[in-house]
């Protein structure tokens, strides 16, 4: 344990679940010593030196019998935390050293709430939806990756018996926070995630594992919009776009403007565009924008769909609105150049992929 935690209760408990992460733990634990006051590592069945390395680096280690449930493992970690705040990170993630003191100061002054941090998932493929090029100020954190895709997750929250994760896979703490009357706030401090840049065989293993767990999750919660959307995304990873589309259509038919409907309409628009259904692509993308005009991804989709379906004037109008709403978005210059380029010179991607 670091700092002066012998004489006071720890402020931040770092909660980690790990298996066979001996090589990654030094960066996680040593690299965040200014941020955590105690570290809890829940080992889910390592065959390497994960346990010994974690203990050597000052973490408290507990064994957990893996039961095909990420929430159960996360909750085992939460049960061990003694600090008033919990920070959740994985072994393939880090927060930049320059951001750590600011995050610690934020927590020290914050009212109880779930703090959302943007997760920068580094990726080599610029064709991925939402792919953002790495700026020169973050090149060190990217470690050679040319870009990233952003996701948003609660990573910091008060420690309380009532706050627990749910979901076998793609687990979340948000429902528990909201049920307890706590709000959600966003901090502009990224979590850098490099795990998706691993060897292809590891990604194949991840897809197979997630598919198995998502099917269990959907069997247990067949009407859960989040589970249904996650399963649709999984089906696309498994090269089953028709099944994914049918699942998304059933989701929005049941609740056109309900939970996960924005994501479902957005994905339906991309699938329609890929299949040559221009009218379907325009309709689905417009429905997504109607639900969440405050999200940049919807406007990027709208620009791309209108341009690629022959509505160049509509694409420029959508681009103008995107620029007004998100003037600092790093994708704006390239998108503007593509929309304004002469048709003969234009190989339009819209920063969105095909």
The answer on 297 and 249 residing in a single domain is yes
Where among 174, 197, 220 does a domain terminate? 197
Asked if residue 60 belongs to a domain, the reply is: yes
> Same domain, yes or no, for 206 and 119?
no
Per-residue pLDDT reduced to its tens digit, 321-349: 999 999 988 888 888 988 877 655 445 65
User: CB-hemisphere CA count at 13 Å for 341?
Assistant: 15
Work out the average pLDDT over 140-147.
90
Task: Tell me if 5 is assigned to some domain.
Answer: no
Tell me if 302 sits within 8 A of 289, measured CB to CB: yes
* CA–CA distances in Å: residue 69 to residues 12, 168, 218, 282: 25, 4, 13, 38
Higher pLDDT among residues 163 and 204, named by residue = 163
pLDDT band at 5 (very low <50, low <70, confident <90, very high): very low
Q: Is residue 325 part of a domain?
A: yes
Nearest to 71 by CA among 153, 165, 160, 155: 165
Residue 1 has pLDDT above 70, yes or no: no
Q: Is 105 exposed, middle or buried (0-12, 13-18, 19+ CB in 10 A)?
A: exposed
Q: Which long-range contacts (CB under 8 A, 24 or more apart) does 321-329 make?
A: 322/296, 325/293, 325/294, 325/296, 325/299, 326/296, 326/299, 329/296
6 is a domain residue: no
Average the pLDDT over 79-85 and give the result.
Answer: 96
Residue with tokens 């002469």: 342
Three-class secondary structure of residue 139 per DSSP: helix
What percentage of the chain exceeds 90 in pLDDT?
76
Tens-digit pLDDT profile for residues 188-239: 999 999 887 766 667 788 899 999 999 999 999 999 999 999 999 999 999 9
Closest CA to 232 of 247, 216, 222, 212: 247
> Does one domain contain both 172 and 248?
no
What is the predicted pLDDT for the residue at 201? 63
Residues 116 and 219 in one domain: no
The DSSP bridge partners found for residue 12 are 85
Number of domains in the chain: 2
The tokens 């022959």 sit on which residue? 310
For residue 128, the model assigns a pLDDT of: 78
Domain match, 174 and 251 both: no
Mean pLDDT of 174-189: 95
Same domain, 249 and 134: no
Tokens of 50: 């994960």
- 171 and 93 within one domain: yes
We report the CATH number of the domain holding residue 233 as: 1.25.40.10
Residue 350 domain flag: no
Enclosing H/E stretch for 314: helix 312-325
Residue 24 and residue 139 in one domain: yes
Phi/psi of residue 114, nearest 5 degrees: -85, 125
46: in domain: yes
Give residue for tokens 């339906």: 268
Residue 347 lies in a domain: no
For the domain that residue 21 is a member of, what is the CATH number? 3.90.550.10
| Residue 262 to residues 206, 257, 268, 296, Cα–Cα distance (Å) | 26, 7, 10, 12
Q: Return the pLDDT at 6.
A: 39
Quick one: 166 and 246 in the same domain?
no
Do residues 295 and 169 share a domain?
A: no
As a whole number, the mean pLDDT across the chain is 90
More confident site: 258 or 348:
258
Residues 159 and 155: their CA atoms lie apart, in Å, by: 12
Q: Secondary structure of the chain: what % helix, strand, coil (to 5)? A: 45, 15, 35
Q: State the pLDDT confidence band at 258, using cuts at 50, 70 and 90.
A: confident
**Domain ends where: 197, 212, 239?**
197
- % pLDDT > 70, the chain: 93
Three-state DSSP at 95 gives coil
Predicted structure pTM score: 0.84
CB neighbourhood size of 352 (10 A): 23
Residues 241 and 333 in one domain: yes
Residues spanned by the domain of 179: 12-197
Q: Is the dihedral of CA 48, 52, 58, 62 positive or negative?
A: positive
Q: 352 in a domain, yes or no?
A: no
Run of H or E including 39: strand 38-43
Q: Which of 136, 162, 197 is the last residue of a domain?
A: 197
Same domain, yes or no, for 165 and 302? no
| Residues near 93 by beta carbon (within 8 Å), at least 6 away in sequence | 28, 119, 191, 192, 193, 194, 195
């Amino acid at each position: 344990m670091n700092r002066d935690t012998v004489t006071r209760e720890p402020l931040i408990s770092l909660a980690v679940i790990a298996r066979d992460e001996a090589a990654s733990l030094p960066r996680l634990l040593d690299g965040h010593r200014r941020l955590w006051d105690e570290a809890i590592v829940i080992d889910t069945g390592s065959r390497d030196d994960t346990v010994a390395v974690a203990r050597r680096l000052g973490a408290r280690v507990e064994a957990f019998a893996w039961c095909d449930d990420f929430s159960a493992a996360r909750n085992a970690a939460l049960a061990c935390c003694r600090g008033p705040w919990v920070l959740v990170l994985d072994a393939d993630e880090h927060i930049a050293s320059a951001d750590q003191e600011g995050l610690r100061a934020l927590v020290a002054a914050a009212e109880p709430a779930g703090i959302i941090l943007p997760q920068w998932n580094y990726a080599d493929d610029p064709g991925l939806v939402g792919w953002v090029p790495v700026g020169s100020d973050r090149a060190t954190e990217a470690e050679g990756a040319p870009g990233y895709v952003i996701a948003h997750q609660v990573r910091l929250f008060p420690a309380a018996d009532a706050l627990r994760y749910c979901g076998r896979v793609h687990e979340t703490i948000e429902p528990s926070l909201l049920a307890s009357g706590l709000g959600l706030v966003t901090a502009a401090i990224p979590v850098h995630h490099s795990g998706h840049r691993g060897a292809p065989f590891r990604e194949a293993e991840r897809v197979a594992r997630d598919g198995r767990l998502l099917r269990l999750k959907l069997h247990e919660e067949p009407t859960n919009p989040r589970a249904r959307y996650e399963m649709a995304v999984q089906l696309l990873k498994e090269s089953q776009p028709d099944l994914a589309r049918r699942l998304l259509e059933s989701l929005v038919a049941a609740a056109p403007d309900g939970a996960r409907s924005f994501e479902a309409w957005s994905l339906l628009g991309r699938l329609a565009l890929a299949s040559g259904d221009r009218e379907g692509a325009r309709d689905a993308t417009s429905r997504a924008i109607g639900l969440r005009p405050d999200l940049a991804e919807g406007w990027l989709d709208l620009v791309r769909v209108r341009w690629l379906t022959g509505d160049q004037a509509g694409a420029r109008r959508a681009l103008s609105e995107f620029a007004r709403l998100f003037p600092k978005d790093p994708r704006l210059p390239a998108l503007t150049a593509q929309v304004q380029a002469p048709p003969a010179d234009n190989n339009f991607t819209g920063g969105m992929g095909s």
